[in-house]
Amino acid sequence: MVLERVSSPSDLRGLSFPELAELAREIRSFLVERVAETGGHLGPNLGVVELTLALHRVFDTPKDRIVWDTGHQSYVHKILTGRKDDFRSLRQYGGLSGYPSRAESDHDVMENSHASTALSYAAGLSLAVARTEQNRRVVAVVGDGALTGGMAYEALNQIADRRLPLTIVLNDNGRSYSPTVGGLQRHLAQLRTDPLYLRAKRDVSGVLSRLARPGDVLLSGIHRVKGSLRELVTPTTIFDTLGITYTGPIDGHDIEQVEQVLRHAREIDGPVVVHVLTKKGMGYRPAESDERDHLHGVGAFDPVTGRPRVSTLLGSVSWTKVFSSALLEEAVARPEVVAITAAMQNSVGLDPMAERFPDRVFDVGIAEQHAVTFAAGLALGGLRPVVAVYATFFNRAMDQIMMDVALHKLPVTFVLDRAGVTGNDGPSHHGIYDLSFFSTVPGMVIAAPSDTADLRNLLHTALSYDGPFAIRFAKGAALSSGGDEAPRLLPIGEWAIEECPGGVQILAVGNMVEVARKTALILEERGIDAAVTDARFVKPLDSRLPDLAREHSLLVTIEDHVLTNGFGAAVATRLLDEQVTTEVLRFGIAEQFLAHGSVAALHEENGLTPVQMAAVIVERVQAAM
């Protein structure tokens, strides 16, 4: 096998093109086999095999720096840079990261996993290289989906202005998570498919190539003439308008062609975009035929069929599906309800509403800041917008939430999917900071459902509230309430309080309510009276909190969130202000960038299992006797 002979990029440079084609096939088989065991981002990596091979053959890595935007497309890069044998631990606790990791390899420049950032990283790197006179090149690999994010254009503006010697590889597969949307996508689609453009490009290139002979003193001028003639007969690209050299589109699965174009781009003195067309899920039939997202992100699966190995537990339903159903129910009843997401329509459960009301669901691309201010505009016009995004991605839009929504007291509902510890995607994807951010926003209501009925009630309440309202829920299965009653309005700030005068009072948030109940059962077995309150509102806190604390010997808070400025901190601060002296024991995540691993393993690492918490509570109660 060719793959067995490759342990570093230098091993690639002596291979023939037939050997490279065989290597590409072996890498795809390897990816399917390994990702089938652990889960991960399969489709994006199957699509960049030839591109990654060409990059490591043309550029002298790690001396030359490759920056991967949305680093989930870096699996092939990891295989080629000495980490092939670690793939059985991919995304597992203590194992190989699913994203670039500086701790793993000198080939990984940064731990990049949020989209639209690579061009800014690369611009800074390129300028630093130029100022320090380092003899190295910088390459940014950017997906077409990432170019829907405004930050990419801010970087392009500076790259063009400073004429930075930077190679930008536009990996265009027509998709982000879902199909790429917006005006840029239409522009790229024209470059991909317009027969007049492609024929004119071929004709101009053919004529000028015949004019240019090896060693011809006019060769450098030929390229300038070629560019001028192309402008007369072909559309001007957005990159041309900015003054950035553009070449393409080229077949991203033709390694010889990709390599040839990259070698030319490497010699250009200034920024150049190489537009590469790839196919997400390339070479694996189940991924190619999956119209939803080409097996973008998967759990463990059968490598023959591409189907999940472990089906969802009988009768369980995810929080996302509960929200999806509840939102559609609200949209049917209220025509002013609209929904917005950032390239995650299917992931956050908006597909059913989009199918029923296609003119009321808006996918704005990977542009969370725009999504929020767009929602503010919709609210100003009398609509009731719901912005649904993963909790971690809302971090990117805090200024807009603060100044564009909250300052104007607008009725925008923020739905924070995948809040709390999310598992194997690692530090960039855990939703463990949102309470700290959102709690600083004046007038913001923050709620966390503990079961399916709670989520339906909270969404119904949010859409009737005259101001900003955030609802956070976890990844995975929701606790069923067992009923199917119509949703009802909940009094803002009111908890479901269970009292146990003189005993331990546990205040739990969202998915931790069930964990708290299991903890209380262990305490009762140890002879300690305990009650569990469902603190569904994190902000505002229940007005009865001071009196509740006075009635109990110990107050315990449990949250799936960092302890810094989280729910427990808010409770402790409130009691301090009210001069209540009841001890508060807080359980949550220590302030950190939490590593990747299963939710169970990470909760155990942070002392959030019922057995661990009960042991600490017993020790504290006994010490107070």
- Known catalytic residues are 280, 368, 396
Q: What number of other Cβ atoms are within 10 A of residue 135's Cβ?
A: 8
d(CA 309, CA 301): 5
Burial class (CB in 10 A: 0-12, 13-18, 19+), 9: buried
Burial class (CB in 10 A: 0-12, 13-18, 19+), 153: middle
Q: Could you tell me if residue 597 is left (phi over 0), alpha (psi between -120 and 50 degrees) or otherwise beta?
A: left
DSSP code string of 320-354: HHHHHHHHHHHHHH-TTEEEEESS-TTTTT-HHHH
d(CA 625, CA 3): 66
The amino acid present at 222, given as its one-letter code, is I
d(CA 191, CA 185): 10
d(CA 514, CA 27): 43
HEC secondary structure over 170-211: EEECCECCCECCCHHHHHHHHHHHCHHHHHHHHHHHHHHHHH
First to last CA, the chain: 69
d(CA 385, CA 371): 10
- The answer to whether 352 and 323 have CB atoms below 8 angstroms apart is no
Give CA angle at 251 (246, 253), nearest 5°.
135
d(CA 188, CA 169): 14
d(CA 584, CA 603): 20
Show the tokens assigned to 97: 């990261």
> How far is CA 325 from its chain centroid?
23
Cβ neighbours of residue 221 closer than 8 Å, sequence gap 6 or more: none
Give CA angle at 399 (511, 120), nearest 5°.
100
Long-range contacts of the stretch 263-268 (C-beta < 8 A, 24+): 263/58, 265/167, 266/58, 266/59, 266/137, 266/167, 268/165
- The answer to whether 366 and 145 have CB atoms below 8 angstroms apart is yes
- The answer to whether 101 and 108 have CB atoms below 8 angstroms apart is yes
d(CA 143, CA 116): 9
d(CA 372, CA 399): 10
Question: Which 3 state secondary structure label does DSSP give 168?
Answer: strand
Burial class (CB in 10 A: 0-12, 13-18, 19+), 241: exposed
d(CA 189, CA 173): 10
